[in-house]
Chains A and B, each alone.
Chain A
Amino acid sequence: MDFSVVSPQNLSQLRNAIRTLQRKPYRIGAGYTDLLMELRKSDTSDLTVINLAQINDNGLSHIKSLVNHVHIGAMVTATSICMNDDIARRFPTLQQAAANLASTQIRNVATIGGNLCTASPSGDMACAIVALKAHCVLMNVDGKKRVVPVVDFFTGPRTTCLKKNEFLYKIILPRNHKQTQHIHSGFIKVGTRNAMECSVVSLAYHIQVEESGYVIDAGIGIGASAPTIRFAEKAALNLIGKNMQNFTDENRNEFAKKVLTYASPISDVRATSWYRKEVLYNISKSVLV
């Protein structure tokens, strides 16, 4: 490998680095769990890697719990997300997605920003972030911020809406509603083994329920089922106003069918399209216990 590396120490150096590379190929390195493998397989002679690991910036590397939002810096690792009390209590889908990502060693370095920017259709944290209806804060070389809903962040398999002069700065999770008494939130990951899996199918759900048991808000994300992670909007809307306690088999089937309308999976070495749909349908049903 013969790429060159720049290691900005703060945000303004990072912006400068990106600015100077506008006409050249560059990649951004955060946790390197995907990037290093990719670089080993490709010709890197003209490439510059902008190394984020040495930047000292709270916005980029901290989780900040605010009144109406939780801010998660793009450099926050999966381990930090797993271990965060606020996230574990209020956004279990994200905590579970982070906890079931690859392995301890990978979680210790893999970042949420990397998981989003890789834009893999099977990204686990990204799937949960979609279900949570989060927003991405992008920053350009002039320090100008742009906020996009996370569903719009993904434009295709392994492509995002990031422009060449932008980088992902942080993710903003909206707080659960004040009326929410109970959250039914989780992450279902289907693979062959109990660990070290890349999702064959995944489903993130975050359902907010008020005191009387009625659903007041719902978010459903599906992974490894389409060219990008999808927000299953119709399925989510379908739940609103229903009572969590009285779901019938008919409700479950209807919900699962709606989820499935967002799926257009491929067949690959891990599973066929048929299997992915079949399982997505089944696990969707299981969400409404």
Chain B
Amino acid sequence: MAKKNLKIIGTPVPKHDAKIRVTGEAVYGHDIKLPGMLYGAILRTEHPHATFTIDVSAAKKLPGVICVITADDVDTNNISYKRDHPILKKEEVNCIRDEIAAVAAETKEIAEKALKLIKVKYKIKKGIYEPLDALKSGAPLINKFSSGKFEHKNIAEKFYYEHGNIEEQRKKSMVVVKRTFTLPRMTHACLGTSNITAHYNKTTGKLLLYSSTQVPFLYQRDMAHALKMNPSDIRIIQPVIGGGFGSKLDMYPFEPICALLSIKTGRPVQILYSRHEEFLASPTRQPMTIEIEAGADKDGNFTFRDVNVIKDNGAYTSWGATTPFVIMQAFSSLYTLPACRFSATAIYTNNVFAGSFRGYGNPQATFALERVIDLLADKLGMDKAQIRIKNANRPGETTGQGLFFETCGHQDCLQTVIKKAGKKRKSENNRYRRGMGYASMIHVGGGAKIYRSDGCGTTIKIDPYGYCTIISGSNEIGQGSETVLAMIAAEELGISLDKIKVINTDTDIKPWDVGVHASRTSFVAGNSLLGAIRILKEKLNLKAGELLQEKSTSFNYEDGFIKTKSKQIALDKVVREMHFTLPNELAIASYFYEPSSQFQDKGFKGNVSGTYAFASQAIEVEVDTYTGNVRVLTVHVAQDVGKVLNPLLLDGQIHGGVLQGVGYALTEELIFKEGYLLNPNFHNYKLLTAADTPDIHFYPVETHDKQGPYGAKGVGEAPLIPTAAAIANAVCDALQIEMLELPITPERVLVALKNKNNK
């Protein structure tokens, strides 16, 4: 059990690795330059759907080109969890990202030139760009590796879930609302573009990859499968990662392609995406339409939700297809609900595929759900704040899906933001209209048991100088996990922060972990570290007891000393005594933590996370009715974080998440027309700037969940999940309009106003 009187935990400790990041010394994948390194580049199709022939002979002849590969030159397995994605495409392309050839050359310029010399003849085919068109009779098979296990060959994945009696609840309903919402393709737009450096050693047969993956151990296995290698012959080192947000949760073709170029040439090869390529070829948030029917009884109690989700799967499958795991959780369990029916279908099209993105389907679901709650309140003539408070989840609740809330701050969160936000300010004049919107969210807060293990391993050691090294399976993607781990060790072992090192970037060294996702790292890696510390302390206590001639095994670890009330001994001295005197033992311990969560059954029921996070936001906006521009004035965020581990880093997660949520709500969308991407640049894909940042007020709610380290829950994804929903509610409140899609662009606002005035 972690200690009670905390000195370090809960304080604003600056990021452990901030210094190397503010000085430009941090080495990102972009900065790696190995001796003899070649530069790889990928030729992608020019058309979303076509058959093609390819001639690489001229490229091969270009001086400085070392290797050119096409599908004919490689022997690989398909990638993706569905194994439906060939690394290099042969004879046919199915979406605008498709990789058809790759080169490795002495310089970037030569590699680029070589791509231009590859002659491709396309025979353009009519593609399918609307999911439902792919299910029409006579629609061609889009992905020939489709599992075919569903009623239509163009269905990639299906989910069905229900609890309670929908028909009974429908009868109890005084009001029912039905709407269909459309959600866009948002992209991660990490500031550091995708990159990989591969180094294959022909003599040893070992492959070294410098990769920004968020899931190194799953990636190692996937890479081995793709290349038909032994996973343990592949070593993955993560350089400093220039942003993750879920984008690096899957392996994409450029990564095995880079490995193949290195295997073929025996030289290190680097592939670095341009910004254009990043927009075109990295994954997106899963686009979807959500049809939802929901009811409430005369008192405003929610009765049922009946939801059908259609997802555009793109031409291949990535994690976007599995977002219903999370989507259904929002519909089944956010606010107490007697009955829910949910189905989701992912359908192949000739569009690009979606991956995982911070929130994992939850922002989409929450948008639809929270919009409908406003509409139910309107129909009932109920206050929008009160209807939410009335239905909010409570501690001790087990939801229809089997999620158990040992602690639950939903009520607190709602009441806090409603109170803090107060009444919306009056609109100053006819042109600018003010609106207030509320939304809540539920998300896993203690990992998510979707893989065979949701665990994390840690080895901790103390050296003879009293310095501590934490070797953690977890990953740092900028969120500050190294800092939190160092803080935990400092707290428990009484070692100052500058004497703590965190090693977490090398699969040859670090113990297994499932990856950085699902807001799990502080929770799972934190618990894992606490477990390792407990074991290590048992060893240290024994030795300290012996040296201090103290029978008690209860010691305080403070300021580099192991102490009792009357005696103390320096920690480094104890370690030296352990190492150098009989029976000569290392001050080292390992622990593997597995959360207490359960696997879900075939009906998706079960307590899938160690704990659950809740959050509410109240957002005030001002809409310019002349231009349709929405200005977010203030964002009030209350979040059940369990326990604040580090307020500085927590704030950072909240602010960053909220602004991503504002982008999702208002400006961000990859725009495709018939499979072609129209805005592959920061000029037209509009990330918000410093000048767009609203006032963000954050109120942490501490519920002290005994499952979490010091009571903490996962926090990373939650801040962006309710933001778009609350903004949409605020805009609709301001203008008395309906908003059925995101982003709420100025043009969509003016169209909605026009439609309202024409009625």
Contact = CB atoms under 8 A, between A and B. Distances in A.
On whether the two chains bind one another, the answer is yes
A193 interface: yes
A148 interface: no
Contacts of A190: 627, 629, 746
B431 A286 contact: yes
Given A270-B684, A283-B627, A196 B747 contact: no
Contacts of A275: 628, 746-747, 750
Contacts of B229: none
Interface stretch (B247-255, B300-308, B526-534, B687-695): B687-695
Nearest to A102: B683
Contacts of B684: 269-270
A13 interface: no
Contact of A192 (B678, B690, B746): B746
Given A269-B678, A272-B747, A279-B750, A193 B626 contact: no
B750 A193 contact: no
Contacts of A195: 689-692
B627 A193 contact: no
Chain A interface mostly: loop
A200 B686 CA distance: 13
Contacts of A278: 750, 754
A278 B746 CA distance: 11
A192 B749 CA distance: 12
Most B Cβ at <10 Å: residue of A198, A269, A271, A286: A269
Contact of B667 (A193, A198, A271, A272): A193
B666 interface: yes
Interface in A171-212: 190, 192-196, 198, 200
B292 to A, nearest CB: 28
B679 A269 contact: yes
Contact of A193 (B628, B671, B686, B754): B686
Contacts of B747: 271-272, 275
Interface string B668-679: 000100000011
Contact of A279 (B431, B627, B690): B627
A278 B431 CA distance: 14
B597 interface: no
Contacts of B431: 286
A132 B686 CA distance: 31
A192 B686 contact: yes
A49 B431 CA distance: 48
Contacts of B750: 275, 278-279
A40 to B, nearest CB: 10
Contacts of B78: none
Contacts of B629: 190, 192
A193 B678 contact: no
A95 B252 CA distance: 48
B180 interface: no
B598 interface: no
Chain B interface mostly: loop
Contacts of B746: 190, 192, 200, 271, 275, 279
Interface in B512-568: none
B689 A193 contact: yes
B262 to A, nearest CB: 27
A272 B628 CA distance: 13
Contacts of B679: 269
A286 B626 contact: yes
B201 interface: no
A282 interface: yes
Interface string B727-759: 000000000000000000111001000100000
B683 A194 contact: no
Interface in B670-723: 671, 678-679, 682-684, 686, 688-692
Interface string B654-672: 0000000000001100010
Nearest to A194: B691
A37 to B, nearest CB: 10
B180 to A, nearest CB: 23
A195 B688 CA distance: 8
A198 B683 contact: yes
A54 B431 CA distance: 49
A198 B679 CA distance: 13
Contact of B626 (A192, A272, A279): A279
Nearest to B631: A194
Contacts of A194: 689, 691-692
Interface in A249-279: 269-272, 275, 278-279
Contacts of A269: 671, 678-679, 684
A160 B67 CA distance: 46
A195 B686 CA distance: 10
B667 A282 contact: no
A282 to B, nearest CB: 4
A122 to B, nearest CB: 12
Contacts of A200: 746
Interface string A60-90: 0000000000000000000000000000000
Given A269-B678, A278-B750, A282-B626, A196 B745 contact: no
A276 to B, nearest CB: 9
Q: Which 4 A-B pairs have the closest CB atoms?
A: A282-B626, A195-B691, A194-B691, A275-B747
5 contacts: A195-B692, A196-B689, A269-B684, A275-B628, A275-B750
Interface of B: 431, 626-629, 666-667, 671, 678-679, 682-684, 686, 688-692, 745-747, 750, 754
Interface of A: 190, 192-196, 198, 200, 269-272, 275, 278-279, 282-283, 285-286
